[in-house]
Amino acid sequence: MAKIVGAIICLLMVAMDVMAGILGIEAEIEQNKVKHLRLWIFECRDPSEQAFKLGLGAAALLGLAHVIANLLGGCNCICSQEELEKASPSRQLSVACLIFTWIIFAVGLSMLAFNLVDQMEDESYSDEGEVNALQEGLAAVKFSKDFKRQIQRPWECALIVKVFGHSVGFTFLHNRLLSLWKPAGRLECVDLGHDFFLTRFSLREDYDTILKKGPWFIVVWIRLNELPIEYYNEEALVQIGKIVGTVLRIDTHIASKTRGRFVRLCVQIDVAKPLVTGIMIGKFEQLVSYEGIHRLCLDCGRVGHHKENCPFTIRRPLSTVMGTEREVASSSCSLHVSDVVKDKEGPTGSVLHAEHEEVSEGPYGPWIVVARKETRNFRSSGMSLP
């Protein structure tokens, strides 16, 4: 009876091995149906859901057959160096093969587990599934994840560029990027509107280099208000301006010493670094203000986003903030309204509007941005020129 059971188990193990081999071959066939890139003996392929399922089934059958074989064969473990030296060569080879097969099984199972996570993410990436009720006049279209990958593949080496401060033309930006980045391959630009441009690289190496190293900068004019007159020297101004960024130009009025209220320098600043708000010239602190900065974060001091969307600031949970606001509101009865809100009353005593003064603590605030002069419209105000 024992021999019959053993024979049945052996046949079952052989059947599982054969079935696992068939599933592995089917998985390879399914994987070959997707596009892949071959480089010598290496291949890079897009994932296939059907190939993943077949491979997972093959791994499960092989693992089960492996466990059964180990249980039936008994324990071949060698637990000490002395036992290893006394063991026969066949036993040493058996233990080595056992360890090697378990390592291969663990590596294959971990790769399948990582692929399972990718497949779960792909399920949410696909449009396939039920569509919520649509409003009248709307229609829906679905795209599979394979088709999405197909249409997105040509844009994998693309970057979206935003121009700050001034609007530039398409041709000017394209030529400027070619001179700055100096790509080895082809560089294409697409105008997306609202001062956004999409740049696509023909070589992956150019894409990685530009993404990691840049340069990513903007050119702005800075002001040094009330700078001591002895520093109105071209060499001295260049040395001072280098603290902020690369000096590109000095205002002609400053070079000719016809103005002494402030110094204007055109500098190139790195958008990944916070703005410099002050320079120590010996023991003298010189404040720095900037012209034409539209998007400035008053928390981190970087250009390109506002305080509300700062990625460098750790914000408190909404519940904590709301609780703090309630505490402040309940304990602020003794505050003077005129210190917080400036109200303008009409002839009947009604409040026309309130202007809240936002006081920013820290090195960054509205004072580092030069306010534009308001042009007076004499015609609309009824004033006449002499």
> pLDDT tens for residues 69-100?
666 655 566 667 777 677 777 666 666 766 77
Domain-ending residue, one of 179, 213, 247: 213
Half-sphere exposure of 166 (CA within 13 A, CB side): 11
- Domain interval for residue 235: 217-309
| Shared domain check, 56 and 93 | yes
For the chain, give the mean pLDDT: 72
Alpha carbon of residue 350 to chain centroid: 50
In a domain? residue 38:
yes
**pLDDT-based confidence at 358, cuts 50/70/90?**
very low
| Shared domain check, 43 and 109 | yes
Q: Please report which helix (H) or strand (E) contains residue 45, including its range.
A: strand 42-45
pLDDT score at 50:
74
Most confident of 121-135, 287-301, 325-339: 287-301
| Mean pLDDT calculated for residue range 32-50 | 60
DSSP-H helix ranges across the chain: 2-32, 49-73, 81-86, 89-125, 145-152, 170-181, 204-213, 234-241, 252-255, 318-330, 337-340, 378-381
Torsion angles phi and psi, residue 255, rounded to 5: -60, -35
| Shared domain check, 160 and 255 | no
In a domain? residue 249:
yes
pTM confidence score:
0.44
| Shared domain check, 274 and 296 | yes
The whole-angstrom separation of Cα 319 and Cα 353 is 30
| Mean pLDDT calculated for residue range 289-314 | 73
pLDDT score at 200:
93
In a domain? residue 82:
no
**pLDDT-based confidence at 386, cuts 50/70/90?**
very low
pLDDT score at 121:
54
With b for 16 or more beta-carbon neighbours within 10 A and e for fewer, the 289-300 pattern comes to: bbeebeebbbbb
| Shared domain check, 167 and 112 | no
Domain-ending residue, one of 263, 293, 309: 309
Q: Which residues, in sequence order, are bridge partners of residue 249?
A: 266
| Shared domain check, 228 and 203 | no
- pLDDT exceeds 60 at position 171: yes
In a domain? residue 355:
no
In a domain? residue 142:
no
Quickly list DSSP for 90-137: HHHHHHHHHHHHHHHHHHHHHHHHHHHHHHHHHHHHS--S--PPPPTT
Domain-ending residue, one of 213, 237, 262: 213
In a domain? residue 320:
no
- pLDDT exceeds 90 at position 201: yes
- pLDDT exceeds 80 at position 36: no
Angle at 280 between CA 314 and CA 297, to 5 degrees: 25
| Shared domain check, 266 and 168 | no
More confident residue, 141 or 258: 141
| Shared domain check, 202 and 223 | no
In a domain? residue 59:
yes
In a domain? residue 343:
no
| Shared domain check, 193 and 227 | no
More confident residue, 46 or 199: 199
**Structural domain count of the chain:** 3
Residues 193, 205 contacting (CB under 8 angstroms): no
- The neighbour count for residue 60, using CB atoms within 10 Å, is 15
| Shared domain check, 235 and 193 | no
The whole-angstrom separation of Cα 145 and Cα 154 is 15
- pLDDT exceeds 80 at position 220: yes
